[in-house]
Amino acid sequence: RRDVARRDVARRDVARRAGAMEIITDAREMRAWTRARRARGERVAFVPTMGALHEGHLALVDIARARCACDAVVLSVYVNETQFAPGEDFDAYPRVGDADERAARARGVDCVFAPKRMYANEGEGEGAAHETYVEVAELSKGLCAKTRPHFFKGVATIVTKLFNVVEPDAAVFGKKDYQQWRVIRRMARDLDFDIDVVGGEIVRESDGLAMSSRNLLLTTENRGKATVIYRSLSEAKATAERAPTTSDALVTRVSERIRDGGGEVDYVQAMEPESLTPYVGVLDSPCVIAVAAKFGSVRLLDNVEIMCGE
């Protein structure tokens, strides 16, 4: 096994010198890849994704190099089954394979980790099925968890597993999924991961719609309607920064605008940026307004940060 590992490291070093991007599917090989670089004094950054890469994902690769001062970037592609409940869009979630590899290579990703599976299955020579999960108790409450109570247990578990496999120095997550970003930061702190968890700003289409892999599932009509999310959030931000206003007034206005625009509101909430507790009263300190809304069967997320009082 040691000889095989040495040959794998030598092969990867040749590929690295040639400027080639590695594609790894095995957890042991992924660990060896990272450890070889860290042994040379390099820093490794990690961008976890579920694939169907768009500019929002690829911007996180740029952040990994610039803000995290890392020498190598690993990007994972894995559609995590444990964050989907029965009847959700696990089977429909976009999977584009070769297109993801081309996009990652063009952006200068050093390694794509694309495991076939991440959970032990009973009956496949692994004994009992996977039974260990990670939960972040308080930050996982409310917001997305109201309608998807299983979601953050699945997210925290898969990210923990990926952190243990990739062993990065830094990891970059998009802030479009604002609650998820906060949950992962808290998990990394509480479990003593020596990983800098960095948030990347939302990347938008030219009409303001937050980039998301699920945008591919929107009909042409609903794609046009969905732009009301960002318009309503932008109006709320401008209102709060122009004159004193309450969180309730902003939430009411954003909710009305989305419904009038053809969306089904899951939630609109004004909240404290770190604790995610509801923001109450006149805005005089930083606040986040987060939205989840459906257009047709497609659920979209977005948010704006309002820096009142700074």
The catalytic residues are: 57
Q: What is the CA radius of gyration of the chain?
A: 20
What 8-state DSSP symbol labels residue 217? G
Residue 32 CB contacts under 8 Å (≥ 6 apart), including other chains: 5, 8, 9
Q: Is 33 exposed, middle or buried (0-12, 13-18, 19+ CB in 10 A)?
A: buried
C-alpha 228/C-alpha 223 separation (Å) is 10
CA atoms within 13 A on the CB side of 288: 19
**Nearest CA among 112, 91, 107, 103 for reference residue 53:** 103
Q: With contact defined as beta carbons under 8 Å apart, do 140 and 156 qualify?
A: yes
Tokens of 276: 């995610």
